[in-house]
Structure 1
Amino acid sequence: MGAASRYWKFITIDATGRRKVEEIASAKVFLKQLFREQIGQPDVGDAMWQRQLWRLLLQDSTRGMADVCLRCFISHQIEQVCVQLETQFGREHGFTRSDLFPFVLDDDSVLKEREKGGKRESNYKSLATEILQSFDPERSSLATWTTRLVKHHQELNKFLLERGVYLISNWAILNDTKRKQLQRIFSEFCRFTSVEIERACILLDSYHAVYRRDRLKSRQSLRADLTATLPESLPLRSRCLPPTDTQLQQIAQLFRAKTSQILSGESVMKELQDMAEYLREYRIYVRGGKPPEESLDEPNNREFAVSIKANIFGSTLEEREEETEFLKLYRDSFEKSLDEAVKGAIASRISLLQRQNSQASQQFLLALNLFHCQAKSMAEIASLVGLQAQYQVTRLLKLKEFRSDVRQQMLKLLRNWVLEKATAYADPEQLQTLSERVDTALDEQITAIIQQAEAEACTAKKTSVKSLFTEKICQHLQELKF
């Protein structure tokens, strides 16, 4: 009876945006008369209910009630999609299902029919109406079709983009990204080196050669399923699934043939996902979305303390208080170590450039300021520092090498601090075990900061929000009067 009730209980929102469930008594009576033998049977699926209701929708005498029953089901499915989106993205991106409901639970025709005795007068086309008008029970289930249209809803996607959520899979992003687009995005927004860009392009070409070939074959075999009438807002395409193990191996073989570099299937998967995430951040930006933000106070930054907790802290109240104290000291030291590492890396680069060319050291400081603090493009920086081309700026900054230098200095500083402070909490036997784990734990934390800086390079031109890495650079450059 619970599953059947989805066809006579209607989910909507009230004037304040709160979810409410209305039982439509006439729909309940209608269904119980129509399906008196099937009601309550657990093995009766939605497909049977929907096919019969769809046939009744085409008959004048039963059209009204069949329409109400299908709209009730659609309202339940829309709610489930919102719940799924909240579960998947809500906590990280700051929204709940209640924030999503007003965009898609916009169908009031069921309640109006009840109030007006079946005379529906409305020119507004709700999402549920769009779903019903484009649905074909011979090609899809109503649940699947509803899910698809909800996730393509324009206003819902606009809201999600503002919170940094782009509802397109990595594989769809890679599938429709052209080589020239990748070159431009990685050059102008990610500021990767020419070597890194060429490697990414070769990997993308290899992906396209395998993935698009197999996708074309699949679409040809299912061409009949792709000719359904779609709403204008919904592109005519099938879902992009993750590459199979066989496809990953074939991509690796093509990549090796072009570069002589050997990659495992797992490495191909990781590099493709990393590439897609850079492209995702770019697409979120150009669509007016919000880039991701991180803070040292977020739960991720407890991972370091958690990773060594077993070697130092126990579960008593006193030991938990010690853990909290240690974590606070660690946060302070983490930021101080980053500050010192940034200053050290800048000083090392200046010293090296001064030995080569005194003018180059001043150009480096100015370029670093323009890139990180003023979010200028490489082309803009070139003209401002007196260079002829953006590749010369890339060679001058050597951002990947600079970040690596900061990372190594920071790792050394933090490791010494952790081992020194840990002596106050751990006994000598524990310290030996702890020392073996500190490098791994710190490496993960520092890598996260560096990766955030790399990701920010894709969106630095678009947002005033700066990573901690960039803040430290700008603070130090300000001290140096740059």
Structure 2
Amino acid sequence: MNKLKYYTLILPSNDDKRKCKEIEIAKIFFNETFANSFDINSESDIFIQKQLLELSHNNSSGSSLIAQRCLLCFISWQIEQTCLSLEQQFGDFHGFKSRDLLGYVLDDDGSLEPSKGYKCLAREILENFDPDKSSLVTWTNRKVKQHRELNKYLLERGLYLMSDWAILNDTKIKQLPKILGSFHSLTNIEIKQAQQLLEAYHKIYRTERLCQRTDYKILGKCNPPRTEQLQAMIKILQTQAIDNLSNGLSTKVVMQKLQNLAERLREYRLHVRNASFKTISLDAELYKNSTFVDRVPDTNSNNIINPTEDVYEINEFLKTYRSQMISCLDSALHTVIAYRSEKLQKKDTEKVQQFLTALQLFHCQRLSMGNIAKQLNLRAQDAVARLLKLKEFRADVRQETLVKLQVRVIELAQKYSTPTNLLNLELTIAELLDEQIGNVIYQAEVEAASMQNNCAVSFFSQRLCQQLDTKN
């Protein structure tokens, strides 16, 4: 955890050098607020942000605005990372640098009070952030990629963003059973409801859009449905919906259902078109936020080009990829455990068994560090924390998995991709895999923080416990 991110604001720059502004009042507040933390540098951003969010919502404390400022500084760093990522993925081909993007999305002046009549992007991100639905990193990444002016600039460079509404317009109702059933494993009832929802959307929204095109009106980007359009969709759904789909429908609910459907369709298209591989269910949130599609303009058509689909090959690829993901994670766990054990062996042979036992008790039996300390006759839970060094352990596993998986996936992709597509794929594969593996590690981090709250067992812990069982 880099605490500088919470009191240093990233600003737009005319060159490739990072331009920063330290907010002194935020620095003092942050250091005082977390002065009693065991080790502020080892604390997770998630828990730091949770506390800052609570403080920012507590208007009676008198420090809510400063807590907000700390979070806004952090958001500025994530905005920069998103722009750097876009440059890495698409910059060379489309001719832009991250500095070209930052001017559109870094508009925070660093003040405590929001400016009258104008709300910067960072404040919009923070105000609409729901920690129960996603991480602040993921949410920021998503909102930056949805920024209207940034999208306009990228479109001029040939990088096309499909809006939810364009995806829904371009999807045929008869495609849904294959996409939602085979790819997303939804039930027949859920698929039927989605078909009816899409049919209502086509009758109202797409029909009006087509009429505008016939009348030679300027169309541009698909805008969100208007309230009267949503109300018209509700009337259609109320006459034909099954299994209580229409019960309690409001314009807000219909809008959310349409967005959820579009996100599923987007995920499927990205997997097919850009080899954004779907792994275990822990990765679902990741690709809800993947919004960019590199599209070659079609001068003969105004329609979005549908990807070529070979379901058998896709399923075969994903099946093989999932097994490689598991294999590489298992291998990485074995390597890191062996390395850590060897390191401890040189210091104290007794520590090796304590380390393996502590891992098993924490991840498999889900005991608190205080209880583990008692079982291992250690002084206190901080001694267990120093023995396990979970953050360092997870980071090592992440890096080992990434190195191993990247090699295997590139080899695997050669069987399912043309040379041209493979070349493009290799340019982004490291980042894609790093995000996926990072999501597995993130789930393990969340689990470790709430082990005593009957949270779901993470995939990381499942594989780790299987590894530890073979050692006993």
- TM-score, structure 2 length as denominator? 0.42
Pick the structure with greater CA Rg. 1
Q: Which fold has the larger relative contact order, with Cα–Cα distance below 8 Å and residues 6 or more apart in sequence? A: 1
- TM-score, structure 1 length as denominator? 0.42
